[in-house]
A = this chain, B = another copy of it.
Amino acid sequence: MRLEDEIQQKEFKDDYSKAIVNILFTQSYIVTKQNNFLKPYGLSPEQYNVLRILRGQNGNPITVSSIQDRMLNKMSNASRLVEKLKQKGLVLREECPADRRQVDIMITEKGLQLLNQLQEEILNQNNNLIQLNQQEVSQLNFLLDKLRG
């Protein structure tokens, strides 16, 4: 559906201005659906993202600042998100022996099981969320990667 109709705006100054708003609006569309999906599991989209980063470590610990670097939102707050996940028993946090300023974070077995439980449904949902064919979605990824310079 045309963005102009969805937000009841007659027209944009130019395609660049429309693209800005289009990306923000589409992000909200996606996060809303993700949020609805994850809520029954007690996870926010951001917490889910941190869990995926930890799973990607394949059992190796990772520091809080490395998590921060890999997060989708660079201005987020990995320290507090990790604390939330720890309270749910999904991650472990322990002082790094080599550098006592750092804190090693690892996903727990419970965290891994939760991700595995979600995995199949998430893949399906991702496909349903994006009403594009394979060639179009590949083109979209190309354009977004290029957009950021």
On chain B, the residues within 8 Å of A10 by CB distance are 56
Count residues on chain A whose CB falls below 8 Å from chain B CBs. Answer: 59
Cross-chain contact B143 with A136 (CB below 8 angstroms)? yes
A interface, over-half SS: helix
Residues of B within 8 A of A31 (CB): 24
Closest to A136 in B: B143
**Residues A16 and B137 in contact, CB atoms below 8 Å apart:** yes
The 19 listed contacts between A and B (C-beta, < 8 Å) are: A2-B145, A3-B141, A6-B148, A17-B123, A19-B140, A20-B34, A20-B129, A21-B72, A22-B140, A24-B27, A24-B72, A26-B148, A28-B74, A28-B75, A29-B148, A136-B143, A136-B146, A140-B140, A140-B144
What 8 A-B pairs have minimum CB-CB distances, sorted nearest first? A27-B27, A131-B149, A22-B144, A28-B73, A15-B137, A16-B126, A140-B143, A24-B72
